[in-house]
Structure 1
Amino acid sequence: MVKIYLQKMLSLFDLSLKLNGFPIKKAKAELESIVNLSTEEHAKFIQDKKREIVDFHLQNNSFYQELVGNKTNIKWEDLPILNKQNLQKPLVERLSKGYTLKNVYLNKTSGSSGTPFVFAKDKYSHALTWASNIMRFGWFNIDFNHSYQARFYGIPMDFIGYQKERFKDFLSRRFRFPVFDLSDEVLEKFLGKFKTKKFDYINGYTSSIVLFAKFLEKRNIILREICPTLKACFVTSEMLFESDKILLEKQFGIPIINEYGASELDLIAFENTKGEWQINAETLFVEILDENNQILPYGKEGRIVITSLFNKANPFIRYDIGDIGILDEKSTPQKPILKKLVGRTNDIAILPSGKKSPGLTFYYVTKSIIEDDGNVKEFIIKQTKLDSFEIEYVSENELTAEQIHKIKEAIALYLEPNLSFIFTRKNVLERTNRGKLKQFKSYL
Structure 2
Amino acid sequence: MMKQQLVKAYLKLPPLVQNVLVSLYGIKLYVERYGVGRRAAEKMLKNSESYSFSEMERLQEDAFVDLAHYAIDNVPFYIEWAKNKGISKSNISSIDDLSLFPVIEKEMIRDSPSSFVSKKYRNKKLISLSTSGSTGSPLEIYTDNHTRTLHYAFFTRLRSWFGVEKRGGRATFLGRIVVPQGQKRPPFWRYDFGQNNLLMSTYHLSEDNLSSYIEKLTAYRPVEIFGHPSSIYRVANYIIDNDSCGKVKPNVVITTAETLMPYQRTAIEKAFDCPVVDQYGCTEMAFFASQCESGEMHFHPEHAIIEIVDSKNCIVKPGVRGQLVATSLISKVMPLIRYKVGDTLSVSEEKSKCHPGFPIIKFLEGRTDDLVYKKDGGSVGRLSPIFRSDKNVTLSQITQEESGDITVLVVPNEKYNDKNREMIRRELVERVGDDLNISIFEVESIPKEKNGKFRPVKSYYKRIVD
Is the TM value for this pair above 0.5? Answer: yes
The partner residue of 1:269 within 289, 300, 310 is 289
Instruction: Tell me the amino acid that sits aligned with residue 95 of structure 1.
Output: V
Aligned to 1:424: 402
Secondary structure of 2:366's partner?
strand
Residue pairs, 1:28-47, within 5 angstroms: 28-35=42-49, 37-47=51-61
Secondary structure in 2 matching 1:154 = coil
**What CA RMSD, in Å, does the superposition of the two structures yield over aligned residues?**
3.9
One-letter amino acid of the structure 2 residue matched with residue 298 of structure 1: P
Question: For the Cα contact (< 8 Å) 1:326–1:341, is it kept in 2?
Answer: yes
> For residue 350 of structure 2, what is the aligned residue in structure 1?
330
TM-score by length of 2: 0.67
Query: What is the TM-score of this pair, normalised by structure 1?
Result: 0.70
Amino acid at match of 2:66: E
Aligned match for 2:67, one of 38, 48, 53: 53
In 1: Cα distance, 2:107 partner to 2:123 partner:
21
Indicate the larger mover: 185-194 or 99-108.
99-108
Q: 1:153 aligns with which of 170, 174, 179?
A: 174
Shift of residue 424, structure 1, vs aligned partner: 2.0
d(CA) in 2 for partners of 1:428 and 1:181?
19
Of 155, 159, 170, which residue of structure 2 is paired with 1:133? 155
Cα offset, 1:31, TM superposition:
2.6
- Residues 283 and 310 in structure 1, CA contact (< 8 A), matched pair in contact too: yes
What do the CA deviations read for 1:374-403 (whole angstroms, capped 9, x no partner)? xx98699xxxxxxxxx995xxxxxxxxxxx
3-state secondary structure, aligned to 1:136: helix
User: Contact 1:133–1:267 (CA<8 Å) still a contact in 2?
Assistant: no
2:263 is the counterpart of 1:243: yes
Cα distance in 2 for partners of 1:15, 1:88 equals 26
Q: Is the 8 A contact 2:287 2:303 kept in 1?
A: no
Pairing 1:154-193 to 2, within 5 Å after superposition: 154-156=175-177, 169-193=192-216
Task: Return the letter of the residue paired with 1:235.
Answer: T
Residue 213 of structure 1 is matched in structure 2 by 236
Contact map agreement 2:177 2:201 (CA 8 A) in 1 = no
| Residue equivalent to 2:323 | 303
C-alpha change, 1:426 and 1:266, in structure 2 (3 Å) is: same
Query: Does 2:31 align with 1:17?
Result: yes
**Higher relative contact order, chain-length normalized (CA < 8 Å, sep 6+):** 2
CA gap of 1:429–1:200, structure 2 versus 1, over 3 A, is: farther
Q: Does 1:81 align with 2:59?
A: no
Cα deviation, 1:154-185, whole Å, max 9, x if unaligned, reads: 225699xxxxxx99932111000121232222
Contact 1:245 1:256 in 2 (8 A): yes
**CA-to-partner distance for each residue in 1:3-23, whole Å, 9 max, x for gaps?**
xxxxxxxxx989943798543
Instruction: Measure, in 2, the Cα distance between the counterparts of 1:174 and 1:39.
Output: 36
Partner amino acid for 2:319?
G
How far apart are the structure 1 equivalents of 2:457 and 2:178?
28
Residue 20 to residue 310, structure 1, CA distance change in 2 (3 Å): closer
**For each residue in 1:115-146, what CA deviation from the matched residue of structure 2 results, as whole angstroms up to 9, or x when unmatched?**
2122123433321111111011111111113x
Q: Kindly report which structure 2 residues correspond to 1:85-104, keeping only aligned pairs within 5 A, or say none.
A: 85-89=107-111, 91-100=113-122, 102-104=124-126
CA distance in 2, matches of 1:188, 1:167: 17
Aligned residue for 1:245, secondary structure, equals helix
The Cα shift of 1:308 comes to: 0.6
**Is the Cα–Cα contact under 8 Å of residues 180 and 435 in structure 1 kept in the other structure?**
yes
Listed as ranges, the gaps of 5+ residues in structure 2 are 1-25, 181-188, 371-376, 382-397, 409-423, 433-452, 459-466
Comparing 44-53 with 425-434, greater Cα deviation is found at: 425-434
| Structure 2 residue 306 is the aligned partner of structure 1 residue 286 | yes
Residue matched to 1:27: 41
CA distance in 2, matches of 1:207, 1:249: 14
Question: Does the CA-based 8 Å contact 1:82-1:319 persist in structure 2?
Answer: yes
Aligned to 1:343: 366
Residues 71-96 of structure 1, C-alpha deviations (whole Å, 9 max, x = no match): 12374223111121111146444320
Partner-residue secondary structure (3-state), 2:225: strand
SS in 1 for 2:232: helix
Contact 2:254–2:276 (8 Å) recurs in 1: yes
Q: CA deviation at 1:313?
A: 0.5
**Shift of residue 275, structure 1, vs aligned partner:** 0.9
**Do the aligned partners of 1:391 and 1:424 also contact (CA within 8 Å) in 2?**
no
Give 5+ residue unaligned stretches, structure 1: 1-11, 160-165, 345-358, 364-375, 381-389, 393-422
Which deviations, in whole Å up to 9, do the C-alpha atoms of 1:298-331 show, x marking residues without a partner? 1010001111112100021111111000101214
> Secondary structure in 1 aligned to 2:110?
coil
Matched, 1:70 2:94: no
Q: Secondary structure at the match of 1:86?
A: helix
- Give the residue type in structure 2 aligned to 1:284: A
User: Residue 171 of structure 2: SS of its match in structure 1?
Assistant: strand
What is the SS of the residue equivalent to 2:227? strand
The verdict on how the C-alpha distance between 1:129 and 1:379 changes in structure 2, with shifts beyond 3 A counting, is closer
Q: Whole-Å Cα distance in 2 between the matches of residues 76 and 33 of structure 1?
A: 26
